Structure 1
Amino acid sequence: MSDRLGVAVLRFLAKQPPSDVMGEMAREVLSGRTTLHEVMRSSAYSEALTEAAAEAVRAIDAMTPEERRAAEEMGEQAVADVLDPPPPAPEPRRAPVDHDWDEAFTSPWDQNDHF
């Protein structure tokens, strides 16, 4: 799947609990075990997809033009956050030490009085 928005939505859905039907579907698609084409033909997912699409249409229809623009901007930022997250903070570097061996620690093999 090369559509950035689609990938972002799937990644978001995949974070849902294991019992969530849409989350399960997203994890299946992202893992490659199924495709979106197969999902659309699946009776297991079609009801959940239809319900989610209808809910989205109702929400969009209820918005004012200003709310739609704000939602689009938030959506673009959310897509960017999912697909292009900030790089992780670098791990702290350990200062070099002259001697790393703890002299208080000895192993049984260090003592030669067993022979």
Structure 2
Amino acid sequence: MNKTLSPEPKVQEHTAPKSHTGVDWRRKASDHVAFGLLVYTGLHIFLTMKELKTGSGSILPYFALIVLVAAIIPACRWVEMRWEKLSDSQASDPALAPVFKKEMILVWCAAIGLPIALTFGFKGLVALF
């Protein structure tokens, strides 16, 4: 009687492809791009807001925020799409590790370096004019 009142919980099956290496480059690339965009956006907003509080009255910080939408997001999406096109067998191929590492280093360098470069670049433009 106890079994009829409380059925056994169903176990969910994992739908991600299993491989001998345990790595899915598609998923890892997507995670890196997502977290990279979060870091980029956070740094960019923090640095831009700091500039806006100085009260220089320039429109350049607003233009810097537009760069985020106009250039960076499509570029990150392009990197992610390159990895999404892999088949299940390619997605777990350990031979892709060096290529993956190189591309993710570029993603992180851009995520950290671009907000700083944009902020100082626009600061330099303001100083010139």
TM-score (norm 2): 0.29
Structure number with greater CO (CA < 8 Å, separation at least 6) is 2
Bigger Rg, structure 1 or 2: 1
TM-score (norm 1): 0.31
Q: Which structure is higher in helix share? A: 2
